[in-house]
């Protein structure tokens, strides 16, 4: 499992880098996704993998993916990879 957690952390870092490239017109949407990423990081740092993603977290990620799907397909793809990584962790 540590390998899968490390993979998830890498994907989260990739998403953070992509979010930094967004222009200011996307601030509200970017912030919503950044908050979800921060929540995941906090749980990973506490080794709280059992409660890594609540159903609400998955919903937030899915909604963000839909918002970015057309305007920022790279970000959308990364979010899908995060959701898949969480699924591999049994979440």
Write down the pLDDT at residue 1. Answer: 58
3 state SS of 15 = helix
Looking at the chain, the whole-number percentage of residues with pLDDT higher than 90 is: 22
List, for residues 29-39, the tens digit of each pLDDT value.
Answer: 788 788 888 88
Ordered DSSP codes for 21-85: TS-GGGHHHHHHHHHHHHHHHHHHHTT-GGGS--HHHHHHHHHHHHHHHHH-HHHHHHHHHHHHH
In order of 7, 18, 29, 72, the CA distances from 24 in angstroms are: 29, 13, 10, 14
User: Which of 5-19, 42-56, 63-77 is the least confident region?
Assistant: 42-56
In order of 12, 42, 62, the CA distances from 77 in angstroms are: 12, 22, 11
Write down the pLDDT at residue 52. Answer: 66
User: What single DSSP character describes residue 91?
Assistant: -
Categorize the per-residue pLDDT at 12 as very low, low, confident or very high, splitting at 50, 70 and 90. very high
Domain ranges for the chain: 2-88
């Amino acid at each position: 499992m540590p390998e899968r957690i490390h993979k998830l952390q890498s994907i989260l870092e990739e998403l953070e880098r992509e979010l930094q490239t967004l222009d200011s017109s996307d601030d509200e949407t970017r912030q919503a996704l950044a908050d979800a990423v921060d929540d995941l990081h906090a749980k990973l740092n506490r080794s709280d993998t059992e409660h890594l993603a609540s159903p609400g977290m998955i919903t937030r990620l899915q909604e963000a993916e839909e918002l970015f799907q057309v305007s920022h397909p790279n970000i959308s793809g990364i979010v899908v990879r995060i959701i898949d990584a969480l699924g591999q962790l049994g979440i």
